[in-house]
A = this chain, B = another copy of it.
Amino acid sequence: MLIVQKYGGSSLATTEKIRFVAEKIVARKQAGNQLIVIVSAMGKTTDSLINLAKEIHSSPPDREMDLLLSTGELVSVALLCMAVENLGESAEGMTGYFAGIQTDNFHTKACIQQIEPSRVIKELNNGNIVIIAGFQGISSENTITTLGRGGSDLTAIAIASAVKADLCETYTDVEGIFTADPKIVPEAKLIPEISYNELLEMASTGAKVMQSRAVEFAKRYDVPFAVKSTFGKEGGTMVKEISLKEGADVSSVSLDEKQAKITILKVPDTPGIAAKIFSALGKENINVDVIVQNISKENFTDISFTVNIVEVEKTMKIAKAITKELNAAEVIHDTEIAKVSIIGIGMMNHPGVAGRMFETLAKENINIKMISTSEIKISCVVSKSDGTKALKSLHKEFIQ
C-alpha cells in the first residue's frame, strides 16, 4: 500500500517524540508499505519564530514571514529523516518546493494550485521513505509561501490525491472524532466513520477537529483520510464520502462559545438591506454565521447575526455605519451567547429531529435565542451560561 501520513507539531514536540514517530513509520514501511510523511514544525516553534519577527517589526511583511515560518517544518523534516535512518531505513527529506507543491502568490494564506510529485514518486521507487515539510509551497514568482493555519493537513491530503495514495492518515493528540467534546461530555464516544460534510459542519459549529480547508479539499477530490492518535490507542475515525444512510440519525453534538450576536434594530424593510449589511461585512473578511431576520412589522424589521467573538469590535464599527446609512434605530451586541448544534447525515429526512432538539432544551429550561439549519445540521443560539447543560442534554438525547 502507498500510505500518506501527517504528524502535527505536538507529535514532534521533542526529540524523544520524533524518535517514537520514526519507529511507527519504520514499522509500517517494514510491513511492506510505501510511505510519504508530512510534518509540521516541532511544538511551539512557529510561535517562537512569530515572536522573533514581532521584536523586529510590529506588523511583519507576509512574504518574509513565510520564509521565516517555513524553516520550522524543515527542522522537523531533517530530524525525522535522521531518526528514521538511525533505525536502518533510508529516508529522503524535502521542502514543499521540491515536493512540487505550487501555490498562488497569497503569502501566509496561499492556496495550492498544482502538485507535480515526480520527485516524490522517484524517491519512493528508490525505496526511500519520503518526508515532506508540510504547510509550505512555492509561488509562481519562486518565493516560499505558507498555506495558513492547518496547512500541514492540507499538504497531506493534496499529496495523497496527487500520488493516488491508498490511505491517508493524519496523526494528532486526540484519538479521533467524538460524538461531543470529551472534556465537556465524558460519555462522548469515538465515531468510527464520518462523512466529509458532517466533519465540515462540526468545524463550523465549533468542534476543533481539523481545519475546514483541508476537509473541503479532501471532499472535492474525494481523498478518504483517517484521524488517529500518535501516542494513544490505534483506531481513530475514518473520514470519507458516505451516502445517505437509512435510519441515519444524529452523529455528533457540539458547542461553540466563541460567538457574539449583533442585532440591528428597526431596519426599514426594503429590498436589498440584507445584501447591503452582509456584503459590507464580507468586504472586511468578517465571517458571519447564523443569520435571523424577524418577521416585518409596520415595514420595519430586526436583523440579528453571529460573528466570531474576536471580530465584535470591527463588526460593530461597520454595523454602526450601516445603521446610519439604512436609517435603522440602533445596533446592539451580546457576547454572552453559545451555539449548540446537532449534526448528522440524513437528519433532515427524519422530521422529528428538530422538534426533539427544541423539546430537549425546553425541558432543561433553556431559552433559544436563534435557530439555524442546514441539510445535516441544526444549531441553536442560547445563553452562554446554558451552553454546557445544553450540550450534555443533547448528547444524552441523541447519542446515548
Contact = CB atoms under 8 A, between A and B. Distances in A.
A56 B19 contact: yes
Nearest to A66: B78
A165 to B, nearest CB: 23
A142 interface: yes
A85 B57 contact: yes
Nearest to A51: B15
Nearest to A49: B75
A86 B56 CA distance: 8
A262 interface: no
A71 interface: yes
A52 B75 contact: yes
B74 A61 contact: no
A18 interface: yes
B74 A93 contact: no
Given A85-B64, A142-B98, A78 B53 contact: yes
Contacts of A83: 56-57
Q: Number of copies of this chain in the oligomer?
A: 2
A56 B18 contact: yes
Mostly, the A contact residues are helix
Interface residues of A, number: 36
Interface in A37-70: 49, 52-53, 55-58, 60-61, 63-65, 67-68, 70
A55 B147 CA distance: 30
Contact of A78 (B65, B93, B95): B65
A58 B18 CA distance: 15
Nearest to A74: B71
A84 to B, nearest CB: 9
A67 B63 CA distance: 21
Interface in A92-142: 93, 95, 98, 119, 142
A81 interface: yes
A64 B81 contact: yes
Contact of A93 (B18, B64, B75): B64
Nearest to A75: B71
Interface of A: 15, 18-19, 49, 52-53, 55-58, 60-61, 63-65, 67-68, 70-71, 74-75, 77-79, 81-83, 85-86, 91, 93, 95, 98, 119, 142, 144
25 contacts: A15-B55, A18-B56, A49-B75, A53-B78, A53-B79, A53-B82, A56-B79, A56-B86, A57-B83, A61-B85, A64-B78, A64-B82, A64-B91, A64-B93, A65-B78, A65-B82, A67-B77, A67-B78, A67-B81, A68-B74, A68-B78, A71-B71, A71-B78, A74-B74, A119-B142
